[in-house]
Amino acid sequence: MRILLVGWSSPLHGESTAGDVLATQAVAERLRADGHEVDEAWSPAMHLAYGPRGGLLYDELDPQAYSTVVWVCGPVAGPRVVEFHERFAHARRLAVGVSVLDPADPAVTGFDVVVPRDAPGRDPQRDLAARPVLDGLDVLGVFLTHGQGEYGTRRRHEEVTKVLGDWLGGLDVARLELETRLDPRDWRMPATAEQVLAIVARLDVVVTTRLHGMVLALRSGVPALAVDPVAGGGKVTAQARAWGWPCVLTAEGLDAAALDEQLAWCRSGSGRAAARSAQEVAATAGGEQLDALVRALGAAAGE
């Protein structure tokens, strides 16, 4: 039996969540283990991620090719689910891992079988999204700067950000857009430097066009892929030289191939060892500047 799996991640204007996808994967794994052939249908946006893994475009598949269709996860309510029933009226339709709000809703009664995670008068069941066992992905923290008008015509920030954005979007990693800027008035921003460091310490790699993105990564023992957005090199390049950090790219000729190569090094044993070595000397960073300041203060006081 060939079975089609659909859900809220399938229609053009449906809402896609990580929970929907994980629940679909849990159903697919179990059905395949039981000997069924399974297809998964996705919206155009989600097909960008899951099409390369064999997923189908929901709007372009032939409904007549399936005699059994399973709706996975989410609430079974509203016009999207009713449209699903109309499109697959010829097929046996089941729902699993769903929330039933109104058992008399046509969106619910249109199914031949409903196996809910929660429904009126029934004990709730643990959600399917908890089930799949997946390989862990690296977590990349991304610190970008968009200002620095002091560099004038040497600024290449917009071009560099565009190349980085296109490249990051194609990586199979967990991406976090982060800020070194602090604002205690906005919960979406870090309020203290300690909060930023707590996040950085939990990352696998930092990708940054900010000087302090690189510095905070290295003091935390996290490899940093630094890109200097200033033509001819600015403070990011200078800081990389001060740390002896080799993973820094320039704005000139920046492309995906160069970024791939540097990211591979950051994720390698050599890259991680280099970051740990940088962390070991972080406590003495800036010592010469502080000594010079103390001498200058002493001279000013006549010592």
Q: Per-residue pLDDT tens for 129-161? A: 998 767 788 999 999 988 877 888 888 889 999
Q: Domain check: are 11 and 118 in the same one?
A: yes
What's the pLDDT band for 303 if we cut at 50, 70, 90? low
pLDDT for res 155: 84
Q: Domain check: are 170 and 270 in the same one?
A: yes
Q: Domain check: are 198 and 169 in the same one?
A: yes
Last residue of a domain, one of 98, 130, 162: 130
| Mean pLDDT computed over 199-220 | 96
Question: Has residue 12 got a pLDDT over 90?
Answer: no
Residue corresponding to tokens 């995906």? 256
302 inside domain:
no
What's the pLDDT band for 299 if we cut at 50, 70, 90? confident
Average pLDDT, the chain: 93
Q: Domain check: are 59 and 118 in the same one?
A: yes
pLDDT for res 134: 72
Last residue of a domain, one of 112, 130, 148: 130
228 inside domain:
yes
Q: Domain check: are 169 and 47 in the same one?
A: no
Could you report how far apart the first and last alpha carbons of the chain are, in Å?
90
Stronger pLDDT, 155 or 200, i.e. the higher one:
200
pLDDT for res 107: 96
CB 229 within 8 A of CB 163: no
pLDDT for res 16: 84
Count of the separate structural domains present in the chain: 2
Question: Has residue 257 got a pLDDT over 90?
Answer: yes
Q: Domain check: are 118 and 143 in the same one?
A: no
Question: Has residue 215 got a pLDDT over 90?
Answer: yes
What's the pLDDT band for 118 if we cut at 50, 70, 90? very high
Q: What is the extent of the structural domain holding 231?
A: 139-289
Q: Please write the tens of the pLDDT for every residue from 49-92.
A: 899 989 999 999 999 999 999 999 999 999 999 999 999 999 99
Domain harbouring 155, CATH code: 3.40.50.2000
Last residue of a domain, one of 104, 130, 156: 130
Residue type, 144: L
pLDDT for res 95: 97
Domain harbouring 36, CATH code: 3.40.50
| Mean pLDDT computed over 207-221 | 96
Q: Domain check: are 169 and 74 in the same one?
A: no
Q: Domain check: are 186 and 61 in the same one?
A: no
